[in-house]
Structures are given as C-alpha cells and as structure tokens.
Amino acid sequence: MASARAAQLARRYLDHVRELQDSWRERLLATSSPPRADAVAWRLIGVLPAHPIITVPVGVTATERSKPQVNMGIDRLEVAGVLTPLSESQRNRSWEAVGLLVLLAALEEGR
C-alpha cells in the first residue's frame, strides 16, 4: 500500500513538473525577443527540475554549453520570470527556479 502511494505521489509530482516546465517555455516564448530553438535557455528549462537552485557552473555542466552561453540563458530566463536571483552580489550568483521548490515541498508533505 505504501509503495502504491509513493508511486502515485511521484507520478503526480512529475506531471506537475512537466506542467511547470511548459509554463516556463510559454513565458520564454512570450518575451519580446524569444531565443532561437537551439538556445541554451531551452536546455536550462530541461535541467532545472534536477537543479531547483542553479548557478552558472552548474548550468555549464548540466547543459554542456559555455559559460557565456549559460549566462545569456540565465539572463533570458530571469527576464521571463522563470528564474529569480537569490542575491544581489555579482559573485557566486545563484537563482531559484520559480515554483519548483513549492512542488518539492508538496511532495515531501505527501500532497
């Protein structure tokens, strides 16, 4: 019974993550200058569920793209409202993927 409940929660979580990623893609498309199909911003959306708090070095590793490309992708996602900066500092910056930690908290609570 517990394993069935865990599977149900996991399935629901993954459904919510996909919906969230779709909304992030819509936000990015709605910006005044949407990125090209091969832009790193799209790849970042794909890796954010594994990295709800992301930094440039993590983005470089996760997307296998260069630091300048990842910086540009993060900037675009910030403008689109997908990422929120966690500090004002220009060094060791990190961003939170909007809505993802809420989903993780709900999963931990069994919702």
* Mean pLDDT, residues 66-70 taken together: 97
Residue 84 backbone phi and psi in degrees, to 5: -120, 125
pTM: 0.88
CB-based burial, 66-97: b 16+ in 10 Å, e otherwise: eeebbbbbbebbeebebbeeeeeeeeeebbbb
- Provide DSSP, 63-102: HT--HHHHHHHHHHHHHTTSEEES-S-SSS--EEETTHHH
42-62: pLDDT as tens digits? 999 999 999 999 999 999 999
pLDDT at 63: 97
Tokens of 5: 């409940």
Look up residue 24 and give its amino acid: W
Give the class (CATH, top level) of 2-108. mainly alpha
